Amino acid sequence: MELIEKIKSKKALIGIVGLGYVGLPLGLGFIAKGHRVLGLDIDSKKTAAILSGSSYIEHIDAQPIADGVKSGLLDATTDFARAGECDALILCVPTPLSDHHEPDLSYVLNTLEFLLPYLRRDQVISLESTTYPGTTDEELRPRIENLGLTVGKDIFLVYSPEREDPGNAHFSSVNIPKVMGGSTPACAEVGLALYQAVVEQVVPVSSTQVAEFSKLLENIYRSVNIGLANELKVAADKMGIDIWEVIQAAATKPFGFKAFYPGPGLGGHCIPIDPFYLTWKAREFGVHTRFIELSGEINEAMPAYVVQKTAHALNTRQKSVNGSRILILGLAYKENVDDMRESPTFHLMDGLDELGAEVDYHDPHIPEIIPTREHAKWTGRRSIEITPTTLASYDCVLISTNHSRVDLVEVVANSSLIVDTRNAIASAGLAPKEGQLFKA
């Protein structure tokens, strides 16, 4: 097939649509293998940064971007008319939830509408955005075929869910096995050639629906087990038992157990969102996914639990939340990254603010809060610098994310009261003063 040969010979132009945490590293992976890449994004700040050889994502080095631009392998634009130049178009755009926990495909479908006028024969379209089973064939395929292009003959359509772990030095978009399913056998053949050009191991499956379902299973597995850990944390706390010690003991079993850890809630672009995509789709078939919904309820309740524990900790100092100054350590949803998508810290800030607290945050990876859809009130708030004086000025320091760049020795030495949602203090081997530390 001509398109497959074009990809294998590195004559194809690979279009990456959406240059965020998924699209940018994937594009750099193609460039590293000698393929030409055109990045398309509606955000002119991102395309301008790429063309200047800069990185706007902390854990992605700028040098490969600069080298790619200099060599002519990397280009970026906001002009979607250039999609017609591309032999492959890989869609890496968000799939959030609506206010009613239903799938919001607006980013995917709006992006496709931008691309439709420029689609042509002998292109492959790949969707990487996490979504419910059936999306690729039920939503994308009919819109493409309305152009008069037959999927599997004139144009090729595949689904290959993104697998990213920002900040993980051991895994990247090129060495994580890649699941891929095609709308037809011919589509799968082209998709296999596309991803074998960049990924060490491609895992073909029989359909786009299987590929879509597999991504949801990965994150539902984590959501349910984290929900279990969070539920047990609350129960253990009531019993006066340290859940972290319990998990550490259970994890010594060499088989049949995998440790999952509690926290202040779920964050990131996958685990808080993806399970509800399957829950929504399952209702169409009369299936009530009770495990998924229960874990979702537990995990979503955790920020309120942490706020309650913070109030209790302050009460031991004869202080109310109303009027207290509280510093939250960590805005990113996980340690050592600058990714604040769906971070539970926002819910902690909202909950404490609603009770009348004066809330600040410190995060060495996020100097200023950029606009978000759900937490616009915090836009422009800047990270507080940590010093002995500033730590001592707060009534409570709440650890939401355990960044390694935060000096916990300094935190313990200068904070009057600490609420720790990550077992950070104990994990660091520190010994706080009696009554100084509360685990939440």
Active site residues: 270
The DSSP call for residue 432 is P
CA dihedral 184, 187, 192, 198 (to 10 degrees): -140
Residue 152: partners with Cβ closer than 8 Å, 6 or more residues away: 182, 183, 184, 185, 186, 187
Burial 271-305 (b: 16+ CB within 10 A, else e): bbbbbbbbbbbbeeeeeebeebeebbebbbebbeb
CB 432 within 8 A of CB 418: yes
Return the ∠ at Cα 120 (arms to 115 and 125), rounded to 5°.
Answer: 60
d(CA 110, CA 41): 12
CB 440 within 8 A of CB 397: no
d(CA 352, CA 325): 10
Name residue 36's beta-bridge partners. Answer: 13
Q: Residue 332 to residues 61, 94, 236, 286, 360: CA-CA distances in angstroms?
A: 19, 18, 27, 37, 14
Backbone angles phi, psi at 211, to 5 degrees: -65, -40
d(CA 420, CA 440): 6
DSSP for 364-429, please give it.
Answer: TT-SBPPP-SS-GGGTT-BPPPP-HHHHHT-SEEEE-S--TTS-HHHHHHH-S-EEESS-HHHHTT
Where on the phi/psi map is residue 377: left (φ > 0), alpha (ψ -120 to 50), or beta?
alpha
Give the three-state DSSP class for 69.
Answer: helix
Query: Rounded to a whole number, what is the distance in angstroms from the first to the last CA of the chain?
Result: 58
Give the three-state DSSP class for 134.
Answer: coil
CB 224 within 8 A of CB 291: yes
Instruction: Output Rg (C-alpha) for the chain, integer angstroms.
Output: 24
